[in-house]
């Protein structure tokens, strides 16, 4: 029996996919199918959140996959700026992106986001920028709305509820193949062998699906530029060490260029009073961080990531990052943790040494070990330099008691060549979100979904007018 066709198929129900669906539904478009390989939002559960100390190694991992995408279980920061969080400004322009981000913020507020906004005290931001500059650090200002992990889930659930009955959403259904004919997308094939025709396909598989999408892009002959691969550690220190920054701007975005290699090192995903968590990326265990709106710990955690671009003939940055993370998995069975003092002394950490430390780890499933056996020398030295530099603006960050968890890797697909409406070289096939290598966060991923949806609406309206 043939499967009924759809006007629009959206691959991936992360923020890009959800916002594309929202925009289409609100404009009255029908026949929308949203396909998600993970669980529905109400079914997404991590065993470690229910009293199990060890990662269950679920496939797919509910922390990074399912309706809401990886953002649903993140700490939920909306960075309301075009200055970071992706490359969308290079594609559609800075002013249009800023307008889209404002609209994205409005929609999140509509579905339950908090009214509290950080980074609005311009004098405080200026003072922090001046302090950072004296230490060879660049602080990028931004207004930030912190949703909190528990509120993130609620907001996604509200969006999901709104879409129910207005768009068809099928979960636990990975897409195997994008179907094209005469350089035009004509539908998709699921991993169950089901072929579903469509007029348009919006592909937003997220970071979890970036490797699959890169393979599909190569099969279809789509040109792409290799994105840098971000590899580093997650640092955990007492919350009071960074309180003078986090109370004013919540998440300081600090950039440093290492003395030894001139590599770009940045802080990423800072979680005041948060907790360190594990992620299962198709069997590869990596580290991340969350923070809640209500539940607080005594620690703050953040990532230090070293960005590295590769030149010819190497074209597999995702594979490189996976191999580094696999070393940590091989040595520790998952995430490794090490006191900074032990790392500098050239010895592995043990449970006894961590127990004697002043920082109580929030991730109990990490294995004490030696990160110098995992991280490339270039990355490790750049991270150590960054910690020394950060200590000038936040004394205590470079303490021997600071905990380093590894490895944290951010997998981004090769950045596809797309038009200013995010259409690929295949007609009516749109690439959006983190999985397309275009965005790197909630705000811009959501905005990317809007760009594709609005172009589809424009084209469909044109067809209607010609009838």
Which portions of the chain are predicted below pLDDT 70?
A: 1-6, 48-56, 226-227, 411-414, 463-467
| Sign of the torsion angle spanned by Cα atoms 373, 375, 377, 383 | negative
Asked whether 421 and 447 are in contact (CB, 8 A), the reply is no
Predicted local confidence at residue 200, as pLDDT: 97
Residue 203 resides in a domain: yes
Predicted local confidence at residue 53, as pLDDT: 56
Residues 107 and 26 in one domain: yes
Residues 180 and 290 in one domain: no
Residue 384 resides in a domain: yes
Predicted local confidence at residue 226, as pLDDT: 67
Smallest CA-to-CA distance from 264 within 82, 89, 137 is with 137
Residue 138 resides in a domain: no
Residue 245 resides in a domain: yes
Residues 237 and 365 in one domain: yes
Residues 237 and 105 in one domain: no
Residue 334 resides in a domain: yes
Distances (CA, A) of 352 to 107, 338, 357, 359: 49, 12, 9, 13
Residue 132 resides in a domain: no
Asked whether 432 and 204 are in contact (CB, 8 A), the reply is yes
Q: State pLDDT tens for residues 269-310.
A: 999 999 999 988 778 899 999 888 778 999 999 999 999 877
- Tell me the residue range of the domain where 374 lies: 229-410
Residues 211 and 274 in one domain: no
- Of 393, 410, 427, which residue is a domain's last? 410
Residues 358 and 451 in one domain: no
- Of 370, 386, 410, which residue is a domain's last? 410
* Total domain count, the chain: 2
Give the H or E element holding residue 264: strand 264-271
Residues 50 and 112 in one domain: yes
Predicted local confidence at residue 2, as pLDDT: 37
Smallest CA-to-CA distance from 198 within 378, 29, 38, 51 is with 29
Residues 191 and 241 in one domain: no
| Sign of the torsion angle spanned by Cα atoms 117, 120, 124, 128 | positive
Residue 300 resides in a domain: yes
**In 63-209, alpha helices (H):** 88-92, 94-110, 122-133, 149-163
List, in order, residues 6 or more apart from 172 with CB less than 8 Å away.
Answer: 36, 37, 38, 39
Q: State pLDDT tens for residues 101-112.
A: 999 999 999 999
- Of 389, 410, 431, which residue is a domain's last? 410
**Where would I find the beta strands (DSSP E) of 5-143?**
6-11, 32-35, 77-79, 138-140
Residues 275 and 401 in one domain: yes
For residue 41, the domain's CATH number is 3.50.50.60
Residue 196 resides in a domain: yes
Residues 303 and 404 in one domain: yes
d(CA 297, CA 94): 37
Residues 92 and 239 in one domain: no
Residues 328 and 432 in one domain: no
């Amino acid at each position: 029996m043939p499967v009924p066709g759809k006007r629009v198929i959206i691959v991936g129900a992360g923020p890009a996919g959800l916002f594309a669906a929202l925009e289409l539904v609100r404009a009255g478009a029908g026949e929308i199918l949203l396909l998600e390989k993970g669980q529905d939002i109400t079914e997404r559960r991590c065993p470690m959140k229910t009293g199990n100390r060890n990662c269950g190694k679920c496939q797919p991992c509910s922390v990074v996959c399912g309706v809401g995408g990886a953002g649903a279980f993140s700490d939920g920061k909306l960075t309301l700026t075009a200055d970071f969080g992706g490359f969308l400004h290079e594609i559609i322009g800075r002013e249009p992106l800023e307008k889209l981000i404002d609209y994205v913020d409005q929609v999140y507020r509509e579905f339950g986001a908090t009214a509290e906004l950080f980074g609005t005290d311009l004098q405080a931001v200026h003072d922090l920028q001046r302090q950072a500059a004296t230490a060879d650090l660049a602080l990028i200002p931004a207004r930030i709305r912190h949703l909190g992990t528990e509120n993130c889930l609620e907001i996604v659930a509200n969006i999901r509820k709104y879409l129910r009955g207005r768009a068809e959403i099928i979960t636990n259904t990975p897409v195997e193949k994008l179907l094209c004919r005469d350089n035009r997308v004509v539908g998709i094939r699921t991993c169950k062998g089901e072929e579903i025709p469509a007029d348009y396909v919006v592909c937003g598989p997220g970071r979890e699906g970036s490797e699959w999408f890169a393979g599909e892009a190569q099969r279809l002959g789509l040109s792409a530029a290799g994105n840098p691969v971000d590899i580093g550690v997650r640092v955990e220190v007492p919350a009071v060490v960074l309180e003078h920054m986090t109370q004013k701007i919540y998440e300081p975005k600090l950039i440093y260029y290492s003395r030894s290699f001139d590599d770009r090192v940045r802080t990423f995903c800072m979680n005041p009073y948060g907790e360190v968590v594990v992620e299962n990326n198709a069997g590869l265990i990596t580290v991340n961080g969350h923070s809640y709106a209500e539940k607080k710990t005594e620690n703050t955690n953040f990532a230090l990531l070293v960005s590295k671009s590769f030149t010819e003939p190497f074209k597999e940055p995702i594979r490189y990052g996976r191999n580094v993370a696999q070393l940590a998995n091989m040595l520790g069975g998952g995430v490794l943790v090490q006191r900074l003092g032990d790392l500098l002394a050239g010895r592995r950490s043990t449970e006894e040494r961590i127990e004697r430390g002043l920082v109580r780890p929030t991730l109990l499933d990490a294995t004490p070990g030696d990160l110098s056996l995992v991280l490339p020398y270039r990355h490790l030295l750049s991270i150590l330099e960054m910690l020394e530099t950060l200590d000038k603006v936040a004394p205590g960050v470079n303490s021997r008691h600071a905990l380093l968890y590894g490895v944290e890797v951010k997998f981004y697909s090769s950045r596809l060549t797309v038009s200013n409406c995010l259409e690929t070289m295949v007609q009516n096939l749109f690439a959006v979100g983190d999985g397309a290598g275009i965005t790197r966060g909630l705000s811009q991923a959501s905005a990317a979904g809007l760009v594709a949806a609005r172009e589809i609406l424009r084209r469909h309206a044109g067809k209607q007018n010609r009838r």
